[in-house]
Amino acid sequence: MKKIGIITTVLGIPLFVISIFDLHEGKNMPVPLSVSCMIIGVIAAFVGPALFLFPLIIERRKKIANRALLFSLILIAFGFISIFMHWLGARVEIIFGVVIISFFWGTLTFKNKYEKWQIYTRSKRDAFFLSLFDFLGIASVILGFLFKIQSWPYATLMSTIGLVVLAIGMLAWNQKFKKEIVFRKETEDKLQQSLEQIEEQHLKLGEKQKEIIDSIKYAERIQKSLLPTEKYIDSSINRLNEGKIKK
């Protein structure tokens, strides 16, 4: 996964730069192609480092994701301040802040969410695709916001697609966990029933064991009452011995 992350980043950065330049200055490629190349390039450039971090433990990835989110929000806020103050580089700051959230933070969050929820679902595939839906929906909405600010084409379309994907994902999560709750409730009921049956059998075995022990003790008492005592046997042996001696 680390090698894939490095290769993805190396290929994505030049593609992103070329497409941005063409949109603003070159105009050599059709606009849809330039936009597509830019999206692919930015995805690759920022998803790559996130893929590089996938082998880390989830706690470590969460810390990195939270720091990236904080940094990107500060960058976006500073970009808007720069626009208000007419400073240079304002739009670049906003672009980088948004793509960090969309693809670096979003990719790490997708991985963390998938690992978290796969424990609670019977299907890892469902957890993967539902987490992916959330990631793609959030990324599309945020990119639509960026495109709107930058006056790039297809901003409304991207935002709409993102909202639709998020809505479908929410409905799918809701249906999935309704089924999981029903399944877990049925499993708990069956388990409780099995435990009650085991406890009942245990009580019956305990009663049977007590009956057997009582029967053994009763037989011992009868045996003791019928058999002569050791003292009686000793005295009888002594009398016999004394009789032999007298003879």
Residues 158-208: tens digit of each pLDDT? 889 989 988 888 888 777 776 766 666 667 767 777 777 788 787 888 778
Q: Model confidence at 67, in pLDDT bands (50, 70, 90)?
A: very high
pLDDT at residue number 236 = 64
Q: Model confidence at 105, in pLDDT bands (50, 70, 90)?
A: very high
pLDDT at residue number 213 = 83
Task: Read off the tokens for 224.
Answer: 């003791």
Task: Read off the tokens for 186.
Answer: 């049925």
- For 122-131, what is each residue's pLDDT tens digit? 777 888 888 8
Average pLDDT, the chain: 80
Interior angle at CA 37, CA 153 and CA 167, nearest 5: 60
Q: Report the C-alpha gap between 225 and 231 in whole angstroms.
A: 14
Task: Read off the tokens for 144.
Answer: 């639509």
Q: Report the C-alpha gap between 194 and 198 in whole angstroms.
A: 6
Is the predicted pLDDT of residue 68 greater than 90, yes or no?
Answer: yes
- For 8-21, what is each residue's pLDDT tens digit? 888 888 887 787 77
Is the predicted pLDDT of residue 108 greater than 90, yes or no?
Answer: yes
pLDDT at residue number 231 = 62
Most confident among 41-45, 220-224, 234-238 (mean pLDDT)? 41-45
Is 103 within 8 Å of 135 (Cβ atoms)? no
Where in the chain are the domains? Answer: 1-52, 190-246
Q: Which amino acid is at 233?
A: I
The closest alpha carbon to 68, from 109, 107, 101, belongs to 101
The closest alpha carbon to 105, from 59, 144, 66, 48, belongs to 66
- The arithmetic mean of pLDDT across residues 40-60, rounded, is 88
Compute and round to an integer the Cα radius of gyration of the chain: 39
- For 225-246, what is each residue's pLDDT tens digit? 655 556 666 666 666 666 555 5
Percent of the chain with pLDDT over 70: 83
At a CB cut-off of 8 Å and minimum separation 6, what does 76 contact? 93, 94, 97, 98
Is the predicted pLDDT of residue 134 greater than 90, yes or no?
Answer: no
